[in-house]
Amino acid sequence: MTTLPIPVASPFFHYHQNQLFVENCSIKALAQQYGTPLFVYSKAALVHQWHTYQKVIDTYPNTLICYAVKANSNLAILNLFAKLGAGFDLVSGGELFRVLKAGGDPAKVIFSGVAKQVWEIEAALDAGIKCFNVESIPELDLIAQVAQRLGKKAPISLRVNPDVDAKTHPYISTGLKENKFGIDINVAAAIYQKALDNPFLEIKGVDCHIGSQITEVAPFVDAADKVIALLQQLKEKGIALSHIDMGGGLGIRYLDEEVVEPLEMVRKIKDKLHKAGFDNLQLVLEPGRSLVGNTGVLLTQVQFIKPTEARCFAIVDAAMNDLIRPTLYDAYHGVLPVLIQDIPKQTYDIVGPICETGDWLAKQRELAIQSGDYLVVESTGAYGFSMASQYNTRPRAAEILVDGEQSYLIRERETLAQLVALEHIVE
């Protein structure tokens, strides 16, 4: 008897009679219906993850959860979160376009990012967003100029860089002095004063986001301590804020990580705010990965098994263009067979067909597989499709959303004609 593996996104992904299912749909049937590579998301898992944040809202009603669109920006997913009551955290005018198209409420939109362009600031002011998270003095000046031209007052927060170690991968750490993000917390008070004196700016809050895939509470608490010290400085200057935005960053289980529940993290921050006398501030959070990461998989088919002297490769039809995280961060993603078979296990490197040595999805995995089999790469609901490219002129994968026995195509597979549609040959 082979023991069945337990998917990290169990029970939404689970084995039944040696076959992998998502909710009530057989993954093999989905592969046959929609083709591969295919991103498969579970609606029940998305709703479940939302509820981990809904608990925060139920406990502390003065909280706004702004889903970080960059994690997974499919319109169907944005629409689902909008219906559940989410706000949105954006980093581009493109993301604003998506959120409005998906039915998001602009009054619950936060606009982050280190360099907003004029057209993006205009679009956000026109839409009537809740707040810009401003990351530098020149950006503050530009936002004020655009607001003046449009005859508006721009709502702003300063994104401060608290110089705390989020203890995560250096590429996804954002709250250290040497990172490009935010304004040095030690000079922020003076910049708030400058904003206060500008009639085209309206100070709303303070923001900090220290990094991603954080699996401890301590870095959030350290950051909160520093932000609270700034709040006290501002209070002394007579500058009152209406919200504090602690960003996103909560990690998920890819392998065996112990993760922090949103409510546990928020309790610690809320206690600090309470002790410092800032209970009145609305708490804003910008979670991305923790809402969507473990709600989806990348479904792929083994094309060839290629044994070499050094390694045995399982060459699959998904590649680094579909999922760049292993290449970019050396990230671990679980790999599961769709069918459990009674054949010998072997150790494989799971690689794609792209002409790069870095084109791998997983290394040294024990699997009982053969060519033609389907595999899923786990935990790919966040920063999977949203970071996909068309490198090697590979159409981007399709995306589906499963709800019970039903599946819905939420993004069609790109066609070759679409890949070249914007190009022109010079006669």
Ligand X SMILES: Cc1ncc(COP(=O)(O)O)c(C=O)c1O
Ligand Y SMILES: N[C@@H](CCCC[NH3+])C(=O)O
Q: Which residues are annotated as a binding site for substrate?
A: 289, 325, 329, 356, 383
Q: Which two tokens stand for residue 373?
A: 């089999």
Binds ligand X (CB under 6 A): choice among 87, 104, 182, 248: 248
Residue 355 falls in the annotated catalytic set: yes
Segment near ligand X (CB under 6 A), from 218-226, 243-251, 312-320, 355-363?
243-251
The maximal CA–CA distance of the chain, rounded, in angstroms, is 73
What, of ligand Y, ligand X, none, does residue 325 touch, CB below 5 to 8 Å by kind? ligand Y
CB of 212 or CB of 300, closer to ligand X: 212
Quote the DSSP letter at residue 209: -
Cα torsion at 263, 269, 271, 272 (round to 10°)? 170
Q: How many CB atoms lie within 10 A of CB 417?
A: 8
What is the closest distance, in whole angstroms, from the C-beta atom of residue 250 to ligand X in the complex?
6
Left if phi > 0, otherwise alpha if psi is -120 to 50, otherwise beta: which for 329?
A: alpha
Which residue type sits at 65? I
Q: Does 212 bind ligand X (CB under 6 A)?
A: yes
CB of 27 or CB of 210, closer to ligand Y: 210
Query: Counting Cβ atoms within 10 Å, is residue 150 exposed (0-12), middle (13-18) or buried (19+)?
Result: middle
Residues 294-333 that bind ligand X (CB under 6 A): none
Segment near ligand X (CB under 6 A), from 38-46, 287-295, 317-325, 353-361?
287-295
Binding characters for ligand X, 100-139, by CB under 6 A (x = yes): ------------x---------------------------
CB-based contact 71:288 (threshold 8 Å): yes
Q: Does 89 bind ligand X (CB under 6 A)?
A: yes
Q: Does 71 bind ligand X (CB under 6 A)?
A: yes
Segment near ligand X (CB under 6 A), from 198-206, 260-268, 281-289, 335-343?
281-289
CB of 67 or CB of 383, closer to ligand Y: 383
CA dist., res. 31 & res. 109, Å (int): 36
What, of ligand Y, ligand X, none, does residue 286 touch, CB below 5 to 8 Å by kind? ligand X
CA dist., res. 219 & res. 221, Å (int): 5
CB-based contact 366:312 (threshold 8 Å): no
What, of ligand Y, ligand X, none, does residue 72 touch, CB below 5 to 8 Å by kind? none
CB-based contact 202:154 (threshold 8 Å): yes
CB-based contact 114:138 (threshold 8 Å): no
Q: Which two tokens stand for residue 331?
A: 């990230």
Point out which residues pair with 136 in neighbouring strands: none
Q: Does 383 bind ligand Y (CB under 6 A)?
A: yes
The annotation places the binding site at 249, 286-289, 325, 329, 356, 383
Q: Where are the alpha helices (DSSP H) in 157-313?
A: 188-196, 218-236, 262-275, 289-292
Q: Does 176 bind ligand Y (CB under 6 A)?
A: no
Binding characters for ligand Y, 200-239, by CB under 6 A (x = yes): ------------xx--------------------------
CA angle (118, 72, 242) in 5-degree steps: 55
What is the closest distance, in whole angstroms, from the C-beta atom of residue 21 to ligand Y in the complex?
26
Whether omega before 262 lies within 30 degrees of 0, making that bond cis, reads no
What is the closest distance, in whole angstroms, from the C-beta atom of residue 229 to ligand Y in the complex?
25
Residue numbers at the binding site for ligand Y (CB under 6 A): 70, 172, 212-213, 325, 383, 387
- The catalytic residue positions are 355
Residue numbers at the binding site for ligand X (CB under 6 A): 68, 71, 89, 112, 209, 212, 247-250, 286-290, 382
